[in-house]
Structure 1
Amino acid sequence: MNITRRSFIKNTAALSAVPMSLSLTGCDASTTPFAHGVASGDPLSDRVIIWTRVSLPQELLDKIDLSTFNLEVRWQVALDPTFDTVMNEGIVVTNAEKDFTVKKDVMGLEEKTYYYFRFIVETPDQSFTSTIGRTKTLPEFDVSRVKIAFTSCSHFSYGYFNVYARMAEIQDIDVVLHLGDYLYEYGNKDIYRNHFLRNRKVLPEGEMISLNDYRLRHATYKTDQDLQLLHASHPMICIWDDHEFANDTWKHGAQNHNDGEGSWKERCAAAIKAYYEWMPIREPSQGDRQKAYRQFRFGKLVELNMLDTRFIGRDKQLTFKDAAIDDQDRSLLGVEQEEWLYHNLLNAQQDGVKWKLMGQQVQVLQTKIFGKFVNADAWDGYPAARNRLLDHIVNYDIDNVIFLTGDVHSSWAADICHNPYDWREYNPITHNGAVAVELVTSSVTSPSIPVPGIQQIVGDAAKVLRLENPHIRYVDVKNRGFVTLTITESEAIADWHHVPFVGFVNNNVFIDRSFKIKDGEPKLIKYKR
């Protein structure tokens, strides 16, 4: 049954007498079918994804066959927030197969231009209009400045999304990157949550495993007003990490998945389907949704490669006691993604693109404590894969490489080199030997130490890591937050914005540290605003 606008109105006259309430996800919204807000993402120079979700009233759900019901939703894109100058509009059909999410790849847009967008659902006697979102296309040709904000790790039950609100307030951001762990699989009785925050509970109550579970969890997150504000303010480029599936995911399993939870393949298929339904991400051109890694160009100034270091090609994590951890064939990206990345980096260098960014999940930098590596889930656990990537950068003279990283719920900055512990290969005074730099954002809410408040008490102790790891130029484990990176032809300036409290709604934010990276010099220089 295909429902056009007129037939929808004709066959659902009862809508005029009942409030629009969110029922498919178990959350209430008495005045609008757009209870989850709007979003935009994956901007290119001539197109951008716009997104929303329609929540049907229970009275309608009781009268229709969801297996055949299709709903038309109007979308509009304009140059002004009053929609006096509508540049493009059309109809998208959604249904239960899509969980009534609405996603449109709006084409034919002008480069580096702000646009406003909205969605409309009509009932017999009135129209329901969504929140208005603002988005921006990427530059194709001349561009003198790009500003990117990035963050990761937003655990709904560990605090309020104050970080998102502070990001939304910065008007000159071109795009926001979410580097993974946009949502978490844990239920309300799991230990990994702040049990003092009784009103930050999620649906479903337990761990998300099935398609309906993943959909419900996405829906819960998108009822958060600060997250809605961020999505309505800036386009987002997102990539998953492990918790969009289950903790410590790799290509054939996860630490937080067992045989009693069913098929890993089916669980992954459910997680990926829900992710593409609920996130403003473009469908892969070849149709394989597992291949979420992709590339973005900001004129000749910046190339951004968004990497999947978690799912598509990752070999299983090993302990540092296992000699196989040094096997030359071990991969974090997988063969296909590695080759894709190497090609992109070389092509960008040959095309004269100034800065090469890699948005990815886990730390590239080496970390030792008392002489031993400690994080086998990061690139430290895949040394051959890291060496291959760094060799490619060195062998092809690829300059101005910056890694943008999340995952560890803390802030870091480091020079990247093959062996930072050997003065013959890396000089911590002159930075000679460094081939790239890494900027690591803190989290939205997830704690560096999973006991509420403890990270603020013992956080300064982490600074001793710099004594043993001379390439690490900055570390803070106390604060949540995000990073902004402002890029010009001559330099890139990174600012760590910290939000010290997430246990209650507040406006506190401060810049804790800034670094400058000069064109052609892979080293971090302290910078004062």
Structure 2
Amino acid sequence: MAGAVGHFLHGVASGDPLADAIVLWTRFTPRPSSEKASHNVRWLLWVLEGPERRERTGEAAAAEEFDFTVKVDVSGLQPGTRYAYRFECGQAKSPQGEFRLPLPATEPMATLSYAVFSCANRGFGNFRAYAAAVERSRELSAPLDFWLHLGDYIYEYGDTRYPEPSETVVPGLQPREELVNLQQYRQRHAHYRLDPELQRLSASAPMISIWDDHEVANDDFKDGAENHHSETQGAFEARKLAALRAYHEWLPTRVDFDLANFSAASWMRWRRFDFGSLATLLMLETRLLARTSQAARTESVRAEIAAVLNGAWALSPSAWPGGRIEKKMRKVQSAVEAERLDPRKRMLGDTQLAWIAAQAKAEGRPGKWLLIGQPQVVQELMSPNFQDLPSGGTDWAEIVRNLTKRGALYRNYTESGEGEADFVSSELRNAFLVDLAAGRFRIQLNFDSWTGYVAERQGLLQSLRGPSPAIIYGGDSHNAWTGLLRGGDGKRVAVEFDGMSVTSPGLESQRPFLPPQLEAAAWKAANPDLAWADTSRRGFMLVQLGLDNHRLEYMAVDVSTPSRGTREGASCLAGFDVGRDLQLSPTSCRTASWSAALHASLAAGASGSVEPSMPFSRLLSWVPLALLALLTALLGFLLGRRSSSSCSSRSSSRLFGSGLRAGGYKRPSEEAEADGLQAPPMGCSRRDGI
């Protein structure tokens, strides 16, 4: 914009919604020639629904000491009301954002719609899940009330590690080096925030978030991290403070910055959110306040198993039971269990556990949902059992046997089609034999999730006992898991849904030689309370919560290409219903087209409705529009067949939502180029299996 003193390149966001308050966020980017350390930014907020535009305004500083980010905690708002907002600085105007506030905890509230995300590694793919959630919710006439991010919102690695250059789908990571200091963490957050799909989701609904490990460093805990080396990277406490400060500067969290008393303790609080009398959401902190070291045991236990098998690699797994191999494996298993059961191992700490128990019991009543958002998998997933598989459409047992034979043929199932054929090497065979032994003798290999903290896990489940049905959401593993959680007495305590990652690779990258269905079946064979799993696709979870039912859908996306403002390529993998009695049952995915909804409604009769928010009479009124949309799509298809465009030309014409283009605002990449700044590439390369 000519004459502007800067631009709002990173979009807008709202977060931490209360019945009468919201946190509004943006970042003002001054022109490179500007020498001012602070700019006055005006914020505007108005009611979207109603006969009059009731507007509130105020000013906030975009100051250099906070990386020119702006956060405003606006209070005194009307519960249950839908608002719009934007920011201005001189002639520069931000995109418009929207949000709806929840009702107070004592007032009836019928439904909630929200999406759940985790693990967004920029190099591994495009952030299609973010835009797809907006599209899917609108298709269902259920706009998002909020969205959860359960951690690994950014990754700390440099551009040569995870992913390695040969694995990179979206190049151009900024900064290129691993993150250690405040400026580097700020730059990585800024790089992520330039993504238009993240901007679109952020503008559509409030964000509620908690960090996992990669916001600081891989496998971190209270006093250190697997990916922190004090001799070259300095004190871990300094790195942690830098990462948390950048996190709160760049996300719409409700936190007070007190530079005079600079410490991380005030920034690491667990939180509660109420949504009328329908639900209470608790967001838990499991990394930096109380967690004891997980001691990076996975590789050392694998080495112990390999040492037992050393000299006996030629033995078939069928020869393991009853002899020397089994005796030594049982010894390894006993040592691992003693470590997992150690009551000194903590993730939450006594204070947070007591708070959870108090929230679960306070003012609870049957039917009010208790929702738990936290980063890790709570289900006690034992190592997969590849030797007791159900019979499938293909001979899974033969696939497993082949992988234990050097020179046998196997396929890479992450490749397109049926996969490329190759021969089993000694390295692959030996690694898979370790997997077989871990599953056969129930040796746990995951010590970073709740399976490594058994005593504290039981404390968490005990604290959730109360009058409200509990639903737990988790992330971190990059894979999708659905299952039951039971207390020590075997009774159901909660149902857990763990989401697949936004982009980070799952188990398909560790065992590409197994069909995904076989991998999932092996996990279910080892874990009776695991109801469903998907270990090969990326995406998000979409939830529709009602008084009597919790419905969740697992949505998958293709991360190898950007969305270009459509939901093309997104698909519903599975749906699940949970009643107030915690009965979990699979269900069909909700209708995503008006024609299908009309057909279902006609079959049910005029008195029925497919979606509570879409009565039959209103559905009929959409028939002409649906026919018009069908004709438009057909015309677009015919025209598209007559011309093709390069990846770069498609990127340059990309749309990312009417709300973000209103008023003729430029795309972030256009404004960045105008100021000589670098916008991230769209990621046009295609990579099968990611």
**TM-score, length basis structure 2:** 0.66
Amino acid at match of 1:153: C
Aligned to 2:281: 304
Alignment equivalent of 1:504, drawn from 545, 551, 561: 561
Contact 1:112–1:138 under 8 Å retained in 2: yes
Aligned to 1:378: 449
Aligned to 1:365: 379
Task: Compute the displacement of 1:462 (Å).
Answer: 2.4
Deviations 1:133-182 (A, max 9, x none): 11111122121111221010011111000101101222321110000000
Measure the CA separation in 2 of the matches of 1:303 and 1:356.
5
Contact 1:78–1:84 under 8 Å retained in 2: no
Aligned to 2:27: 53
Contact 1:460–1:476 under 8 Å retained in 2: no
Cα 1:194–1:509 change in 2 (3 A) is farther
Structure richer in strand, relative to its length:
1
Of stretches 175-184 and 340-349 in structure 1, the one that deviates more from structure 2 is 340-349
Task: Compute the displacement of 1:466 (Å).
Answer: 0.7
Measure the CA separation in 2 of the matches of 1:235 and 1:446.
24
Pair 1:440 & 2:454 matched = no
Aligned to 1:527: 587
Amino acid at match of 1:270: A
Measure the CA separation in 2 of the matches of 1:225 and 1:85.
28
Measure the CA separation in 2 of the matches of 1:252 and 1:271.
14
Of stretches 166-175 and 323-332 in structure 1, the one that deviates more from structure 2 is 323-332
Of stretches 324-333 and 242-251 in structure 1, the one that deviates more from structure 2 is 324-333
Measure the CA separation in 2 of the matches of 1:236 and 1:316.
30
Of stretches 504-513 and 266-275 in structure 1, the one that deviates more from structure 2 is 504-513
Contact 1:456–1:479 under 8 Å retained in 2: no
Matches within 5 A, 1:58-457: 58-61=32-35, 64=36, 69-80=37-48, 85-122=53-90, 127-140=91-104, 141-169=107-135, 170-171=137-138, 172-193=143-164, 195=166, 197=168, 199-259=170-230, 260-283=232-255, 288-318=265-295, 319=297, 321=335, 323-349=338-364, 354-369=368-383, 370=439, 371-394=442-465, 397-418=466-487, 426=490, 433-449=491-507, 451=509, 454=512
Measure the CA separation in 2 of the matches of 1:313 and 1:191.
27
Amino acid at match of 2:11: G
How many residues align? The count is 477
Cα 1:161–1:348 change in 2 (3 A) is farther
Does the residue aligned with 1:205 lie in a helix, a strand or coil?
coil
Gaps of 5+ in 2: 298-332, 384-438, 590-690
Contact 2:550–2:578 under 8 Å retained in 1: yes
Measure the CA separation in 2 of the matches of 1:337 and 1:455.
42
Task: Compute the displacement of 1:197 (Å).
Answer: 4.1
Contact 1:455–1:477 under 8 Å retained in 2: no
Measure the CA separation in 1 of the matches of 2:494 and 2:288.
24
Of stretches 306-315 and 369-378 in structure 1, the one that deviates more from structure 2 is 369-378
Does the residue aligned with 1:231 lie in a helix, a strand or coil?
helix
Cα 1:81–1:273 change in 2 (3 A) is farther
Amino acid at match of 1:378: S
Measure the CA separation in 2 of the matches of 1:88 and 1:200.
42
Alignment equivalent of 1:480, drawn from 538, 553, 563: 538
Measure the CA separation in 2 of the matches of 1:216 and 1:108.
34
Contact 1:42–1:235 under 8 Å retained in 2: yes
Contact 1:459–1:478 under 8 Å retained in 2: no
Deviations 1:185-218 (A, max 9, x none): 0111114356454653221111000000000000
Amino acid at match of 1:264: F
Amino acid at match of 1:108: G
Structure richer in helix, relative to its length:
2
Measure the CA separation in 2 of the matches of 1:103 and 1:453.
44
Amino acid at match of 1:407: D
Measure the CA separation in 2 of the matches of 1:336 and 1:308.
12
Does the residue aligned with 2:30 lie in a helix, a strand or coil?
coil
Task: Compute the displacement of 1:35 (Å).
Answer: 0.5
Contact 1:54–1:102 under 8 Å retained in 2: yes
Measure the CA separation in 1 of the matches of 2:21 and 2:444.
44
Gaps of 5+ in 1: 1-14, 21-31, 420-424, 427-432
Measure the CA separation in 2 of the matches of 1:70 and 1:242.
32
Amino acid at match of 1:388: G
Contact 2:133–2:542 under 8 Å retained in 1: no
Task: Compute the displacement of 1:415 (Å).
Answer: 0.4
Alignment equivalent of 1:492, drawn from 531, 535, 550: 550
Amino acid at match of 1:48: I
Measure the CA separation in 2 of the matches of 1:160 and 1:82.
38
Cα 1:232–1:81 change in 2 (3 A) is farther
Q: Which has the higher contact order (CA 8 A, sep 6+)?
A: 2
Aligned to 1:518: 579
Cα 1:328–1:451 change in 2 (3 A) is closer
Of stretches 457-466 and 435-444 in structure 1, the one that deviates more from structure 2 is 457-466
Contact 1:152–1:180 under 8 Å retained in 2: yes
Does the residue aligned with 1:160 lie in a helix, a strand or coil?
coil
Amino acid at match of 1:349: G
Amino acid at match of 1:265: E
Contact 1:358–1:404 under 8 Å retained in 2: yes
**Higher radius of gyration, 1 or 2:** 2
Contact 2:154–2:188 under 8 Å retained in 1: yes
Measure the CA separation in 2 of the matches of 1:86 and 1:456.
59
The Cα RMSD (Å) is 2.5
